[in-house]
């Protein structure tokens, strides 16, 4: 079967040019009609399941990194993840991050020699993974293939770098030196007219919801209306939590591992069961590598 590629690029001339260049360099590649924004590429990628994604960083709708994450999370478990190549005109933070995490990227204007090298690398990777297309489900709970795991790690690192860059831009101050962050011991949450003190160990998990973060405790579950809502954004909260105690399992969920009863695979996806509760939490593909049997 011919490999397929989907281009995400909002500028029509650039999308067409990249498509032409790819067809010339790699006649066997089937280049799909380009997606013109971040939301369209997520939808189209999930539907058409290309082998390769060429992803512009700055796009209308969501940006390339967020789109890549959304695609990764919703990707069918039994299919190999698409190979990601970022395409960018200029983006200091992203480019530095690409270099650091050895992510494939090309610069606009796209030079033919550079694109040819990228195509060769992509061809090699596709050839490598062809013999074992259905390795999932073997070797325990987590069955990410080695190269795939590397690219997941890279993508996660990119998203973190992007958040750091955003935070730096927001505060407009030089990045703080890597000082030991103060760990939160107690949450102070406004509930009605009272200020409730909640020991951090009693929190089962944090869940981002709109403009709030919901802290779920055993007690809070039993009393409807007594939700603990924090105004601190999740990404800021994560910095003040003990990373050994609180694991991020999804872009919007951080779980206290002491509250985890078990992790199961349901329909190919990892789900965390919280002690004493019926419902389960989905583990995003991006964060599944920590769940391995000892």
Partner 1 sequence: MATVDHAPLDPWSALVKANAPRMAWHLAIYLLWSTLFLWGLETASGLPGMQVGLLATLLACIIMAGPCVPLSLLGWYLLVKPRWLRDPSLRERMEREGMYAAYAWWQHMLYSEAVALGFTLVSHHIWLWVLDTFGLWGTASPNFYGLSNSLTVSAFGAAVLFLGDLTRVRQLHAARRAETMQRQLAEAQLQRLQAQLEPHMLFNTLANLHALIETQPARAQAMLAHLIDYLRATLGATRGGTYTLGDELRLVGDYLALMQIRMGERLQVHIDVPAELHPLPWPPMLLQPLVENAVLHGLDPLPSGGRLQLVAQRVAASAHAPAHLQVDVLDDGVGLPDGPLPTDSFGLSCVRERLATSHGNAGHVAITARTPQGTQARITLPV
Cβ proximity to partner 1, 107 vs 125, nearer residue: 107
Beta carbons of 53 and 84 less than 8 angstroms apart = yes
Alpha carbon distance 92, 96 (integer Å): 6
Cβ proximity to partner 1, 95 vs 200, nearer residue: 95
Cβ proximity to partner 1, 95 vs 184, nearer residue: 95
Alpha carbon distance 249, 281 (integer Å): 9
Alpha carbon distance 57, 10 (integer Å): 10
CA dihedral sign, ordered 268, 274, 276, 277: negative
Q: How far is the CB of 19 from partner 1 (least distance, A)?
A: 10
Q: How far is the CB of 2 from partner 1 (least distance, A)?
A: 24
Q: Which of 184, 179, 115, 121 has the alpha carbon at shortest distance from 147?
A: 121
Give me the residues paired with residue 54 across strands: 7, 85
Q: How far is the CB of 212 from partner 1 (least distance, A)?
A: 16
Q: How far is the CB of 125 from partner 1 (least distance, A)?
A: 26
Q: How far is the CB of 67 from partner 1 (least distance, A)?
A: 12
255-263 long-range Cβ contacts below 8 angstroms, 24+ apart: 255/204, 255/205, 255/281, 256/201, 256/203, 256/204, 256/205, 258/201, 259/203, 259/204, 259/205, 263/141, 263/291
Cβ proximity to partner 1, 143 vs 165, nearer residue: 165
Cβ proximity to partner 1, 43 vs 207, nearer residue: 43
Cβ proximity to partner 1, 111 vs 264, nearer residue: 111
Q: How far is the CB of 90 from partner 1 (least distance, A)?
A: 4
Cβ proximity to partner 1, 20 vs 186, nearer residue: 20
What tokens appear for 294 in the block? 């000892």
Q: How far is the CB of 70 from partner 1 (least distance, A)?
A: 15
Residues that bind partner 1 (CB under 8 A): 10-14, 16-17, 20, 36-40, 58, 60-61, 89-91, 107-110
Count, residues in the chain = 294
Give me the residues paired with residue 5 across strands: 31, 52
């Amino acid at each position: 079967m011919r490999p397929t590629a989907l281009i995400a690029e909002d500028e029509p001339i650039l999308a067409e040019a990249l498509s032409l260049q790819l067809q010339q360099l790699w006649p066997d590649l089937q280049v799909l009609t380009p997606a013109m924004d971040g939301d369209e590429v997520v939808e189209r990628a999930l539907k058409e399941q290309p082998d390769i994604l060429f992803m512009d960083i700055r796009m209308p709708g969501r940006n390339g990194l967020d789109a890549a994450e959304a695609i990764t999370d919703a990707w069918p478990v039994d299919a190999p993840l698409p190979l990601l190549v970022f395409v960018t005109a200029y983006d200091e933070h992203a480019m530095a991050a690409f270099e650091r995490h050895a992510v494939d990227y090309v610069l606009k204007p796209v030079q033919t020699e550079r694109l040819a090298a990228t195509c060769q690398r992509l061809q090699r990777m596709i050839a490598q993974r062809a013999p074992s297309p259905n390795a999932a489900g073997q070797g325990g709970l987590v069955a990410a293939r080695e190269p795939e795991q590397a690219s997941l790690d890279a993508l996660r690192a990119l998203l973190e770098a992007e958040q750091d860059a955003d935070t730096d831009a927001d505060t407009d101050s030089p990045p703080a030196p890597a000082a030991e962050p103060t760990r939160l011991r107690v949450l102070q949450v406004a509930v009605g007219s009272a200020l409730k003190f909640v020991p951090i160990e009693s929190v089962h998990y944090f869940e981002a919801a709109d403009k709030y973060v919901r802290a779920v405790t055993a007690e809070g579950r039993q009393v409807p209306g007594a939700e603990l809502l924090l105004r601190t954004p999740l990404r800021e909260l994560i910095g003040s939590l003990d990373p050994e105690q609180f694991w991020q399992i999804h872009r919007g969920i951080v779980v206290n591992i002491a509250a985890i009863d078990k992790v199961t695979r349901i329909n190919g996806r990892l789900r965390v069961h919280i002690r004493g509760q019926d419902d389960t939490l989905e583990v995003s593909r991006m964060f599944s590598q920590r769940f391995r049997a000892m």
